[in-house]
Amino acid sequence: RGPDSRAASVPGQMPWADLTIEEAEIACGNSSKRICFYSEWVDACQGDGEWIAREGDIGAPLHESCNAPAYIYEHGQHCDIVPTGSLPKCEAGTPGLFDMQGNVSEFVYDDALYSAERREPGVQGANCAVPDSCADVSGQPSHPGVDTKYFAIGFRCCADL
């Protein structure tokens, strides 16, 4: 990883985590993309609602599909990050998007706190230690600060169409 690194979501590869939002911005920019806004993240995660069916019955535990806390504890593992897409039932409401409800949380920009003068980073989604689901989005991401680095926080890039 360096200043010329490009962001790419590749199935079977470890997600890029433990970096600052500035490093994530550079990687997205090198791929002609940007960090997603919270509203984009939620729309992609919820999609058309089909993610409920992929999880099983409505209300099925998230840990049965995704690298979320109860899955970890039931399978006798520690909170370890797994390769992207390695849990095929952990698909978001937008087909082809994986791991939005587990594995690593993701940096986003809070739509309400974004302007030319201010860019407030947020974090959204579950990780292997913190449960969350596309159905449980609270209306705003958590705000960890610009210098935050954590082994279970990564990023997802969005493109302007």
pLDDT tens-digit series, residues 120-134: 777 777 777 766 656
Has this prediction a pTM greater than 0.75? yes
Select from 22, 48, 2, 4 the least CA-distant residue to 155: 22
Q: CA-to-CA distance for 110 and 103, rounded, in angstroms?
A: 21
Tokens at residue 41, please?
A: 């993240």
User: What SS3 class is residue 158?
Assistant: strand
For the chain, report the end-to-end CA distance as a whole number of angstroms: 27
User: What SS3 class is residue 112?
Assistant: strand
| Confidence category of residue 89, pLDDT binned at 50, 70, 90 | confident
* Amino acid identity for residue 138 in this structure: S
